[in-house]
Amino acid sequence: MAVRPIIRYPDPRLRQRAEEIAVIDDSIRILAEDLADTMLAAPGIGITAPHIGILKQLVVIRLEADRVTHTYVNPRIVWSSPERIRHMEGSVSMPGVTDELDRHARVRVSYRDLDGEEREEEAEGLMAVCLQHEIDQLDGIFWIDRLSKLKRDRLIKRFEKLQRVRV
């Protein structure tokens, strides 16, 4: 449908909790399509409504290997494995920088689909990492908040330098 502008770090909306979506109507379905288009244009493999400045609990994920777009309304992690994995992460709101984070290797997520149906799904590996990352975003936890202060400060400096170069 449309590629929307992505807000950039340090926009304060990236650290605000998104509101639950009470009614799934055509406006939410259009928003989901716009998020998918925006994510692919960024490029990225996951995006939330807060990334475009809309504080609603909507997530879209499309892994390169999968080629299927997954949409989650009001997602919640209901179980996570004790096993952990490390994975490089970044954000469409902070392009050009990444760092390694520690996440649960598997998660189970409850959510509603775009028809309003309650669903539950289990994910592992990259999909589990993406779900944790995007659900954090809906809770107002920007991915760099999971880094040590030293790593976070270094990454922010690197990002600020990249922004100066691009201007």
Inter-CA distances, 42 with 56, 92, 96, 117, Å: 20, 6, 11, 29
| Phi, then psi, of 111 in degrees rounded to 5 | -165, 175
To the question of pTM greater than 0.85 for the whole model, the response is yes
The whole-number pLDDT of residue 67 equals 84
- Best CA proximity match to 32, nearest among 54, 8, 17, 63: 54
12-166 CATH pick, 3.90.45.10, 3.30.70.2740, 1.10.490.10, 3.20.20.30: 3.90.45.10
Q: Is the pLDDT of residue 167 over 70?
A: no
Q: Where are the alpha helices (DSSP H) in 6-148?
A: 26-41, 125-138
3-class state of residue 80 by DSSP: strand
Query: Known catalytic residue: 134?
Result: yes
- The answer to whether the CB of 126 falls within 8 A of the CB of 85 is no
pLDDT tens across 27-44, in order?
Answer: 999 999 999 999 999 999
83-118 tens-digit pLDDT? 999 999 999 999 999 999 999 999 999 999 999 999
Of the residues 83, 120, 122, 134, only one is catalytic, namely 134
